[in-house]
């Protein structure tokens, strides 16, 4: 059926003969956006053909997943397609690059696409970075996002948090992610506010504890001085009244020893006088 068809030309192919791209990094397609594309194709036709490669079973999509899906929604039987030669590795890279260039992927889909590409093609981070024209740290930072479980990913995307929000959360212990993420969402923090909050988060318990202890310590110290001053004033008053009084103060590791000795005759004489 496909033996006489040439490579590198745009042909009109049966839609049912085209299989989806197994390396497609995008997993979710917005229904409203697909319907809008389908309406446009119905009104104006398909302005850009999809790209496919030949396989033993027919054709495999290289680029144009949304266009193919929209044409299927319209129950079209055939679709214009550019047939070209691609290896599986090229197919995977092309699909990822197409989505990255069009910014069709959210940051978690990008991370999943990179990981899948590394696994299927056996790339290291350095090799993948060279193929995509990116730096190795950029690839590494993207892959770190895969540490987030699916519920937290959904929360971030549903509340329009950015990749920088997500990367800031990675600085915290995993058990703190959910609590801090909820705080960021509830307080509607921008990236800068979230980064400052996260930077201070680990210090808050220590700061609160130290702040709680310091006033208590200062209060006790101040009260102790008041007590000692009161005793000193009392001693001075007794001496001015003619009472012979002998005071001694000693300290050890646990206690302050303060003693007063007042002769009975001095106390009685002062009283009778």
Range of the domain at 60: 1-86+97-102
Distance CA 237, CA 148 (A): 73
Total structural domains within the chain: 2
Q: Is residue 186 part of a domain?
A: no
pLDDT one-digit tens code per residue, 156-178: 999 999 999 999 999 999 999 99
Is 107 a domain residue?
A: no
Within a domain: 44: yes
* Residue 26, both tokens: 């995008």
Residue 110 lies inside a defined structural domain of this protein: no
- Known catalytic residue: 65? yes
What value does the mean pLDDT take over residues 113-142? 86
pLDDT digits (tens, 9 = 90+) for 178-214: 999 999 999 999 999 999 889 888 665 544 444 544 4
Q: For residue 183, what pLDDT is reported?
A: 93
Q: Given the residues 14, 30, 60, 65, select the one marked as catalytic.
A: 65
- Go through the chain and tell me how many residues it has: 273
Integer Cα distance of 186 and 60 in angstroms: 45
In a domain, 241, yes or no: yes
> In 94-115, which positions are buried (b, 16+ CB within 10 angstroms) versus exposed (e)?
bbbbbbbeeebbbbbbbbbbbb
Q: Does 82 fall in a domain?
A: yes
pLDDT in tens, 31-40: 888 888 888 8
CATH of the domain at 63: 3.90.1530.10
Would you say residue 1 lies in a domain?
yes
39 lies in some domain: yes
The backbone torsions φ and ψ at residue 160, rounded to the nearest 5 degrees and listed phi first, read: 60, 35
Question: What is the model's pLDDT at position 266?
Answer: 59
Cα 226 versus chain centre, distance = 52
Report the predicted TM-score, pTM, of the whole model to 2 decimal places: 0.52
């Amino acid at each position: 059926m496909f033996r006489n068809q040439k490579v590198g030309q745009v042909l009109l192919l049966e839609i049912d003969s085209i299989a989806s791209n197994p390396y497609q990094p995008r997993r979710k397609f917005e229904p409203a956006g697909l319907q809008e594309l389908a309406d446009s194709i119905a009104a104006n036709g398909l302005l850009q053909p999809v790209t496919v490669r030949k396989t033993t079973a027919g054709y495999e999509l290289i680029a144009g997943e949304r266009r193919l899906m929209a044409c299927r929604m319209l129950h079209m039987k055939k679709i214009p397609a550019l047939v070209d030669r691609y290896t599986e590795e090229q197919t995977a890279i092309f699909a990822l690059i197409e989505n990255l260039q069009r910014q069709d992927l959210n940051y978690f889909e990008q991370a999943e696409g990179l990981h899948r590409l590394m696994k299927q093609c056996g790339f290291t981070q350095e090799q993948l970075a060279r193929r995509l024209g990116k730096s190795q740290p950029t690839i590494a930072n993207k892959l770190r996002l895969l540490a987030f479980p699916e519920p937290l990913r959904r929360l971030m995307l549903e509340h329009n948090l950015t990749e920088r929000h997500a990367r800031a959360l990675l600085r915290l212990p995993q058990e703190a992610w959910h609590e801090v993420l909820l705080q960021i969402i509830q307080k509607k923090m921008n990236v800068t506010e979230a980064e400052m909050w996260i930077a201070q988060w680990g210090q808050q318990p220590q700061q609160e504890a130290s702040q709680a202890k310091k006033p208590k310590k200062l209060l006790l110290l101040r009260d102790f001085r008041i007590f000692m001053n009161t005793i000193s004033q009392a001693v001075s008053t007794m001496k001015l009244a003619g009472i012979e009084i002998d005071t001694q103060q000693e300290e050890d590791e646990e206690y302050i020893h303060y003693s007063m000795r007042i002769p009975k005759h001095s106390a009685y004489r002062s009283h009778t006088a």
